[in-house]
Structure 1
Amino acid sequence: MKQPRRILYIDDDAGIRRLVEKLLGRRGHTVVTASSGAEGVEKLKGDPSFELIAVDHYMPGMDGLQTLAELRKVPNCPPVVYVTGSEESTVAVGALKAGAFEYVVKSVGDDFVDRLEQAFSHALTSVRLRNEKTAAEEALRVSNERLQTLLKEVNHRVANSLQLVSAMVSMQSRHVEDEAAKKALDDTQRRIQAIAQVHRSLYTSDEVESVAMDEYLAAIVTELEDTWSSPQARRDIQLNAEPIKLETDKAVSLGMIVNELISNACKYAYGDQESGEIRVKFARSNPHQFTLTVEDDGCGLSSDAPAQGTGLGSRILTAMASSLSSKLTYDEAHRGCRAVLVADF
């Protein structure tokens, strides 16, 4: 304790009070004494300039632990060092649990004041370290909040930008006369929407690093059902998704896969004048993996049938499954088409 400190020393022993006041005073400290716990509490309330307090354990009326409890009720109570003539460890442990920073066993002579001053130094160091830890945690909290706000803003802007691109593609599609080109632009628009949906989920939720897949897939399914259904040919898309969260990149890949599989089922599984059901299931298969299943009851896949469309959808499915370190498999025993993907979290 290199610099002078203002100290409140509470002890019913007048001789010890004089000794502490005299020896600490010689070392440059200002010592104010109190002969009882009640007096010490009142002095602290009347003088907020104290930097350290020492409290004796054995005092009539209000003992040290009771005094410590009352001192800690005073706003901005400085660190307290507990003084006791007992060497029982239970006394020291009780004092530390009650809020004392250090404890000293009382004795007569300079060595007691030496130990007391050393305990004061340790107490001040503990307070400094605690304050630094609190300040660091607060700075980290503020930094995290700022980063989360920035990430939400980034996702908001990305979603808006993708929405703008989607609108431009839609406008272009309306002015294209070639039917194949028009269908390709419509497919592109849906793919853009699937990605934009992830960023909408991120900036509208408290999570900025992961996506709630049940909500995300529900949004995709609703949009695709509205897109592909007509009064003559309903596309009833049933979703059964567990509330699982995935990292953003994995969510985008899975969303693209779901978009492609559902779009394929809506286009090719049933006839133009035929209603049909598509079922999507997303669930945890074990603690480390999830399973995605998309199935329909339509015409199924045939290796002999000519390829439909441009083949871009198949390449997207392969690429997205590969990004998840997985691949799509098809259940040949299913009467329609059933696509299954198993991947790690």
Structure 2
Amino acid sequence: MDREISADHRGTTILYIDDDEALGVLLRKNLARQGFTVVNAIDGKSGLARLEEGGIDVVALDHYLLGETGLDILPVIVEMPDHPPVVYVTGSADASIAVEALKRGADDYVTKSVSTDFVDLFVAALNQALERARLRREALAAQEAICQARDRAELLLREVNHRVANSLSLVASLVRMQASLIADPVAVSALQETQMRIHAIGNVHRHLYANDQVGTVDLDGYLKSLLDELQSSMRDEARPHDIVLTAEMLQLTTDKVISLGLVVSELVTNAFKYAYAQGTAGEIRVRVSRRDGYTIELLVEDDGTGFDPDAPVKGTGLGTKILNAMAATMGGDLAYDRNIAAGTRARMTFPV
């Protein structure tokens, strides 16, 4: 039996800090039979110095030392980086000392006595402390592996978003080049709208690449970038309109932001094209706010000629189909307010 125990503990070094040198010699002899190597220190200073040298697997710290107690030394030990586990040794019958030692970072404790069971209890406490330390190390290693895997996944996801954004920008550029080679104004308009839709999606991936969040987008920043791009591309002498954005600081998942971006792009594009007479400046207002803890409201409004949702659609009608499809995808409800004095107000609510 002794040989099996010895094999388990062979190479395990104990630092025993106690000013009772006779007990230290006794423990060293008894524990050596079980495979432990015991290093003695008679006070806190020499014990801490030995710890700094390294090579200690577990510390046994006595409560009563010359001019100090183990409770004075214990906090210094546990503040050391990657410190070994500590078994607190006390001869006091006062359980509060053991409790205080555990509160200050000891892994276990044993009550010192002259009985023959003391060595066995001491070894059991050492084994428990070593086992706890092993479990802590394994937990830290597993957590570190998880963090590294997460970091690699986030890096890969950012790279994917970067590549998707670049690819969509390339596609938008090809569409723009194609539009420049066509004389038919209807075809040119359709290609320009397609380009804007591509930009609306690509903008999401650019924000995902640039931000620290994974899978969520800051909605206010995304909408500002999207609307700046829309105004820059559509504002001219015939349509000198301004877009005004009011948006709460919200974070939404990628799929909802893509759908919302397409909805905003369609509504704002329609307002740019049809709300005001050519050459007349107008304002297009976009507002996004949280109505309650579970619902977000989007308003796109203007002060133009007004829009009758029951009238025949202008153009190809693709924009209306996209709006309805995106609203359905988001589980939202899109409608036009009919009780306004002038202009158009599109309102969509959708669950977070």
Under TM normalisation by the shorter chain, which class is it? Answer: over 0.9
- Within the candidate set 52, 61, 64, 2:58 is matched to 52
CA distance, structure 2, for counterparts of residue 26 and residue 304 of structure 1: 95
SS in 2 for 1:254: helix
Match of 1:8 in 2: 15
Q: Could you list the per-position Cα deviations for residues 236-284 of structure 1 after superposition, in whole angstroms to 9, with x for gaps in the alignment?
A: 1110011111100000000000000001111111111221111100011
Task: Report how far residue 28 of structure 1 moved.
Answer: 2.6
- Within the candidate set 200, 205, 216, 1:199 is matched to 205
Match of 1:269 in 2: 275
Residue type of the alignment partner of 1:57: H
Task: Report how far residue 10 of structure 1 moved.
Answer: 2.2
Identity %: 46
Q: Could you list the per-position Cα deviations for residues 191-237 of structure 1 after superposition, in whole angstroms to 9, with x for gaps in the alignment?
A: 11111111111111112311111111111111111222223531111
Match of 2:346 in 1: 339
- Within the candidate set 134, 139, 149, 1:143 is matched to 149
CA distance, structure 2, for counterparts of residue 83 and residue 92 of structure 1: 8
Q: How does 1:206-217 map to 2 (within 5 A)?
A: 206-217=212-223
Q: How does 1:317-332 map to 2 (within 5 A)?
A: 317-332=323-338
- Within the candidate set 38, 45, 53, 1:31 is matched to 38
What TM-score, normalized to structure 2? 0.92
Matching of residue 82 in structure 1 with residue 74 in structure 2: no
- Relative to structure 1, the CA distance from residue 339 to residue 10 in structure 2 (aligned partners, 3 Å threshold; closer, same or farther) is same
CA distance, structure 2, for counterparts of residue 303 and residue 14 of structure 1: 95
Matching of residue 234 in structure 1 with residue 252 in structure 2: no
CA distance, structure 1, for counterparts of residue 234 and residue 78 of structure 2: 69
Gaps of 5+ in 1: none
Q: Could you list the per-position Cα deviations for residues 127-181 of structure 1 after superposition, in whole angstroms to 9, with x for gaps in the alignment?
A: 1111111111111111111111111111111111111111111111111122211
Match of 1:315 in 2: 321
- Relative to structure 1, the CA distance from residue 182 to residue 74 in structure 2 (aligned partners, 3 Å threshold; closer, same or farther) is closer
- Within the candidate set 108, 115, 123, 1:117 is matched to 123
> What is the CA RMSD across the aligned residues, in angstroms?
1.8
Question: In the comparison of the two structures, how many residue pairs are matched?
Answer: 344
- Within the candidate set 174, 178, 185, 1:179 is matched to 185
Match of 1:40 in 2: 47
Gaps of 5+ in 2: none
Greater mean alpha carbon deviation, residues 85-94 or residues 200-209: 85-94
CA distance, structure 1, for counterparts of residue 310 and residue 328 of structure 2: 26
SS in 1 for 2:191: helix
Residue type of the alignment partner of 1:19: L
Residue type of the alignment partner of 1:255: G
CA distance, structure 2, for counterparts of residue 72 and residue 304 of structure 1: 75
Match of 1:134 in 2: 140
What TM-score, normalized to structure 1? 0.94
CA distance, structure 2, for counterparts of residue 89 and residue 174 of structure 1: 87
- Within the candidate set 262, 266, 274, 1:260 is matched to 266
